[in-house]
């Protein structure tokens, strides 16, 4: 990720999330993530990539005993602390985080893992921080869409993953790249520069298995019904094309 972008745009980012107008969060990723939550009453929870803290507040309202939210952006953490003074937030890189072994019952991460090229180190740390039978739920970019070639012009966006084959003269034009791990520099919301990694599901699966986690469930969320009244086309788009993928993992030993 570009830490500077999240620091510079921290207030805009927080406002964007809190307005409820972010369709991807409001009608796609958050409903699916919250549906996967276990019983959190009296549980110790770590939120990795907590941003401006909204989800920590949500988890806390589910009866958690203790919540710690971490994020690389000091400005987002500043907003989180000001907004939710009863919760604990720390500026911390997920690749360098350090907590006591077996301290947490549950670990949660929303749309942060794609900022890490190699998941092995992060997953090893998270598994170490969890108690036996502890659960880690995280969402990330789905490579079927994020591996696509993106063209933006005049406010229009075209995303293509596939190819065009011509017979005479023989030529194949390829759009996007699903199968290779790639670093992608992108611009969100017109002015926010971000960097993330795209990788195929097979590599995600293998990195998870190597960490020793048990994969309990994999979810490719669809838009919920409430999206229809706000944006029917967006609803129909993500009934057919995935934007995110969610993994539910368990520490079995």
pLDDT tens digits along 69-87: 999 999 999 999 999 999 9
In this structure, whether the domain defined by 3-142+198-250 belongs to CATH 3.90.420.10 is answered with no
pLDDT tens digits along 25-45: 999 999 999 999 999 999 999
| 196 pLDDT higher than 60 | yes
Q: Label each residue of 164-231 as H, E or C.
A: EEECCCCEEEEECCCCCCEEEEEEECCCEEEEEEECCHHHHHHHHHHHCCEEEEEECCCCCCCHHHHC
What value does the mean pLDDT take over residues 104-133? 96
pLDDT of residue 18: 80
Map out the domains of the chain as residue ranges.
3-142+198-250
pLDDT tens digits along 144-184: 999 999 988 877 889 999 999 999 899 999 999 999 999 99
Three-class DSSP category at 97: coil
- Chain position carrying tokens 């409820």: 20
pLDDT of residue 87: 97
| 5 pLDDT higher than 70 | no
pLDDT of residue 4: 59
Radius of gyration of the chain (CA): 19
């Amino acid at each position: 990720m570009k830490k500077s972008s999240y620091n510079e745009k921290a207030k805009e980012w927080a406002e964007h999330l809190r307005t409820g107008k972010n369709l991807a969060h409001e009608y796609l990723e958050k409903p699916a993530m919250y549906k996967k939550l276990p019983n959190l009453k009296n549980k110790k929870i770590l939120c990795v990539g907590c941003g401006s803290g909204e989800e920590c507040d949500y988890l806390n309202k589910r009866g958690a005993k203790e919540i710690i939210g971490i994020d690389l952006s000091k400005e987002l953490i500043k907003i989180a602390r000001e907004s939710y003074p009863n919760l604990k937030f720390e500026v911390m890189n997920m690749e360098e985080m350090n907590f006591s072994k077996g301290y947490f019952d549950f670990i949660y991460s929303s749309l942060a893992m794609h900022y890490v090229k190699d998941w092995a180190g992060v997953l090893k740390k998270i598994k170490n921080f969890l108690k036996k039978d502890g659960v880690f739920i995280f969402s990330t970019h789905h490579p079927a869409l994020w591996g696509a070639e993106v063209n933006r012009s005049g406010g229009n966006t075209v995303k293509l993953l596939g190819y065009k084959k011509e017979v005479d003269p023989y030529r194949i034009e390829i759009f996007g790249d699903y199968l290779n791990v790639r670093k992608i520099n992108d611009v969100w919301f017109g002015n926010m520069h971000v960097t993330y990694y795209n990788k195929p599901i097979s590599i995600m699966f293998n990195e998870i298995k190597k960490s020793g986690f048990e994969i309990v469930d994999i979810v490719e969320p669809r838009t919920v019904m409430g999206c229809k009244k706000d944006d029917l086309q967006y609803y129909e788009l993500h009934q057919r094309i995935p934007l995110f993928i969610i993994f539910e993992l368990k520490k079995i030993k």
